[in-house]
Amino acid sequence: MTQLGFPLSLLMATLLAAQVTSPVAVAEDVLLADFEASNYGDWQTTGTAFSDAPAEGTLPGQMDVSGYQGKRLVNSFAGGDRSVGTLTSPAFEISRDYIHFLIGGGGFAGKTCMQLIVDGKVVREATGPNTVSGGSETLAPDFWDARPWQGQTAHIVIVDSATGGWGHINVDQIVLSDRRPATRAFDREFIVDQDYLLIPIRNGAAKVKLEVSVNGKAVRRYDTELATDPNQVDWFAFFNLSEFRGQPASLSVSRATEEGFAAIRTSNEVPAMAVGRDEPQRPQLHFSQWVGWINDPNGMVYLDGEWHLYFQHNPVGWAWGNMTWGHAVSTDLVHWEQLPNCLFPGTMAKGACFSGGAVVDKQNTAGWKSGSNDVLVAFLTDTGAGESVVYSNDNGRTFTWYNDNPIVEHKGRDPKVVWFRYREQDTPLDQTASDLGGHWVMAVYDEDDQHGQNTSFHTSTDLKQWTFQSRLAGYFECPELFELAIDGSTDRSKWVTFAADGRYALGSFDGRTFTPSHEGKHQLHYGNFYASQTFENAPDGRRIQIGWLRGVEFKGEAFNQAFSIPNVLTLKTTGAGPRIFAAPVQEIERLRIKTNTLADQPLPSGKPAAVPVSGELFDITATFEIGDAKQVGLDIGGNRVVYDVSTGTWNGAKTLPTDDRVSLRVLVDRSLIEIWGNGGEVVISGARNTRGMVSEIKAFADGGSATLIDLQAHELKSIWKQSTN
């Protein structure tokens, strides 16, 4: 009984009935600004960043802007990122609980932002999501809780005082509302009691800021397309938190639904791993990551029986962004084990962890050795800071950030470091370097108004202090530098340099300056091959290269992009002078399980010869005598590899016959195909356009007769079914 003298149950029923039958009326929204007029009206501008009127979408030189409403929006990219200014609203009364808006662009607090001003003070602020290269110009919904200032007079100031990358702000559709937004900020605390934090991803969803802290320190900080509906999840990203087991942690998300935030959970299993790398499009011969995006291979180095392959990785997105260093190791260059990510944006680096190389500091020149293992030292571009160095005393599993980073400050990126060994004619940098028998060289992409795009060369004796020496004009990102013997000679060699496009120059290098021995550049790789790197410290002296197969997408899968088969590079004498040749690493032959052959077959025009096969993974070699044919080649399950006599090309790559003969080698993967023409004088890499099982391989000639000298079609097994993953 209550003090009122009737049952509590009856009281509750009455109150509930009153709530149902007498809903509280919600006031209509108040539109503060939609920026659809041809001018700003009563809004006041300073500076030049906002021009004198709202923008009609994307401005010159800007990435595509999306996510705004109507035809116009506030866009401070007028004049580019260097322009600055403010845009201030007229005074208004805060008559609703919340202020809703769309916002994008730069993410710099106080510099690229929108501020709510009450009594001359900033009481709320919002920014876009972007602080480093890349990102998206998409505006996303955001809001302020304005209840503490209900009834007071306020105004809004949109600020652009930043002049570097992402030095602009985009805003649209500012609305006063009593409706609580469907998405809002969430946070929770937890104990790390399982290895992984699973994050539900919806491709194309509005990006949110997600942060994980352990013991009060941020350890993961990412922008990601968090799924708002647990029933509409494309795939699960994951953070490996095993190193923090048993420790207190916190999770915060800038915008989410209650259901979406609740779907972020810890687990000892990752959904992608349960598939066992057997998704419909998953490459079975080429390395690919568990989930997310990859691009440039990084830090390629051999140490203590392992080939280390680090790589540019977005672990929480199917598209480019959040540049992290992923990590995989192999003992044979064929089977790969993916290890936990090791270099993280925003928490280890100041910005994103862009590309770079790695070395083994055998002589401990930096003094970082703390155990019995040789130190693995990696170099990367910390966006917004410069070239930075990290080091590992546990065989490359974890890294320590050098306190005095950056080691080189400039506008470039992608440092590749090599050891230059002194010879009799070389002049040492100093006595210390002479004692060591050489010095370190950094080849790094650089750019400025005076010299344009170039590779610059810096030297060091301790991996910490670097001195600029020279530059080589005409090279873009991801530089490479190494020496190759000519025809395997012990006393004849050339130095090689190239950048992301793989077009290379041969020449001499004295430890300070690269001097090309010819005009222009030569070309080995064609197709989707980009941003390659070669392994340092190879135990057998081989120069082994892996490239990013840029632009080969795997739509509908949890992963995107892949890497090439490792190539062994050699320098051979040709009629045109020395040229680089490539061949798949010999270890790939261990995957052969059956060989099908065809030899000495006449090929009349239009009448192919076929060899029966079974499967979708093949290593194929073939040699043709051209005769009077206009074209010869192979048809591999609908994928045609053609030598065109009139142009002298294998699938567009120029290479001439030898004694009326042409040859090729083809590696056919589930979704990729790579071709080595005429002994590896050219390499063509890309997507396998016609996929599926193959029952026969046809050799053909068109426009005349030719002869198939030899065809060997080796059926292969998958690398993943042999892996330790």
Give mean pLDDT, residues 390-397.
Answer: 98
Is residue 13 assigned to a domain?
A: no
Instruction: Say yes or no: 603 and 695 in one domain.
Output: yes
Instruction: Say yes or no: 459 and 540 in one domain.
Output: yes
Is residue 183 assigned to a domain?
A: no
> For residues 263 and 210, what is the distance between their CA atoms, to the nearest angstrom?
13
Is residue 76 assigned to a domain?
A: yes
Let me know how many helices (H) and strands (E) the chain has, helices first. Answer: 4, 54
Instruction: Tell me if 351 sits within 8 A of 222, measured CB to CB.
Output: no
- Please give the backbone phi and psi of residue 646, each rounded to the nearest 5 degrees, phi first: -65, -35
Instruction: Say yes or no: 396 and 487 in one domain.
Output: yes
Tell me whether residue 704 is exposed, middle or buried, using C-beta atoms within 10 angstroms of its C-beta: 0 to 12, 13 to 18, 19 or more: middle
Give mean pLDDT, residues 396-418.
Answer: 96
Residue 24's pLDDT band (boundaries 50, 70, 90)? Answer: low
The per-residue pLDDT for 134 is 66
The per-residue pLDDT for 722 is 43
What is the tens place of the pLDDT at every residue in 39-98? 999 999 999 999 999 999 999 999 999 989 999 999 999 999 999 999 999 999 999 999
CATH of the domain at 498: 2.115.10.20
Instruction: Say yes or no: 651 and 509 in one domain.
Output: no
3-state helix, strand, coil in the chain (%, to 5): 5, 50, 45
Q: Is the confidence at residue 12, as pLDDT, over 50?
A: no
Is residue 278 assigned to a domain?
A: no
The per-residue pLDDT for 18 is 41
Instruction: Give the count of alpha carbons within 13 A of 274, CB side only.
Output: 7
Those residues whose C-beta lies under 8 Å from the C-beta of residue 685, and which sit 6 or more positions away, are 525, 526, 527, 528, 529, 547, 549, 564, 672, 673, 674, 675
Q: Is the confidence at residue 169, as pLDDT, over 50?
A: yes
Among 290, 337, 322, residue whose Cα is nearest residue 558? 290
Instruction: Say yes or no: 172 and 237 in one domain.
Output: no
Instruction: Say yes or no: 617 and 647 in one domain.
Output: yes
Residue 435's pLDDT band (boundaries 50, 70, 90)? Answer: confident
**What is the residue-averaged pLDDT of the chain?**
93
Is residue 281 assigned to a domain?
A: no
Where among 272, 304, 329 does a domain terminate? 272
Residue 4's pLDDT band (boundaries 50, 70, 90)? Answer: very low
Among 688, 689, 686, 713, residue whose Cα is nearest residue 699? 713
> For residues 561 and 319, what is the distance between their CA atoms, to the nearest angstrom?
9
The per-residue pLDDT for 99 is 97
Q: Kindly state the tokens that stand for 333.
A: 């260059």
Instruction: Tell me if 299 sits within 8 A of 310, measured CB to CB.
Output: yes
> For residues 141 and 144, what is the distance between their CA atoms, to the nearest angstrom?
11
Neighbours of 393 (CB within 10 A): 18
> For residues 302 and 69, what is the distance between their CA atoms, to the nearest angstrom?
53
Which of 223, 296, 374, 669 is the catalytic position? Answer: 296
Where among 525, 553, 584 does a domain terminate? 584
Residues linked to residue 380 through DSSP beta bridges, in sequence order: 388
> For residues 464 and 404, what is the distance between their CA atoms, to the nearest angstrom?
8
Instruction: Say yes or no: 418 and 542 in one domain.
Output: yes
The residue range of the domain holding 695 is 587-722
Instruction: Tell me if 573 sits within 8 A of 486, measured CB to CB.
Output: yes
Q: Kindly state the tokens that stand for 376.
A: 């693995």
Is residue 695 assigned to a domain?
A: yes
What is the tens place of the pLDDT at every residue in 104-146? 999 999 999 999 999 999 999 999 988 877 678 989 888 999 9
Instruction: Say yes or no: 107 and 241 in one domain.
Output: no
Angle formed at CA 358 by CA 355 and CA 364, multiple of 5 degrees: 145
Total structural domains within the chain: 4
Give mean pLDDT, residues 468-488.
Answer: 97
Give mean pLDDT, residues 160-175.
Answer: 96
The per-residue pLDDT for 721 is 67
Q: Is the confidence at residue 19, as pLDDT, over 80?
A: no
Out of 123-137, 183-197, 268-282, 670-684, least confident range: 123-137
The per-residue pLDDT for 182 is 83
Q: Does the annotation mark 702 as catalytic?
A: no
The per-residue pLDDT for 13 is 39
CATH of the domain at 682: 2.60.120.560
Out of 14-28, 125-139, 252-266, 403-417, least confident range: 14-28
Q: Kindly state the tokens that stand for 287.
A: 């390395």
Where among 565, 584, 603 does a domain terminate? 584
The per-residue pLDDT for 255 is 85
Residue 25's pLDDT band (boundaries 50, 70, 90)? Answer: low
The per-residue pLDDT for 131 is 82
Is residue 503 assigned to a domain?
A: yes
Instruction: Say yes or no: 593 and 712 in one domain.
Output: yes
Instruction: Say yes or no: 684 and 667 in one domain.
Output: yes
Is residue 8 assigned to a domain?
A: no
The per-residue pLDDT for 532 is 98
Q: Is the confidence at residue 578, as pLDDT, over 50?
A: yes
Out of 181-190, 292-301, 415-424, 602-611, least confident range: 181-190
Give mean pLDDT, residues 538-559.
Answer: 97
Q: Kindly state the tokens that stand for 109.
A: 């607090």
- The residue written with tokens 């052969």 in the block is 592
Among 508, 458, 469, residue whose Cα is nearest residue 486? 508
CATH of the domain at 51: 2.60.120.200
Residue 302's pLDDT band (boundaries 50, 70, 90)? Answer: very high
Instruction: Say yes or no: 239 and 364 in one domain.
Output: no
Instruction: Say yes or no: 536 and 411 in one domain.
Output: yes
Out of 181-195, 335-349, 398-412, least confident range: 181-195
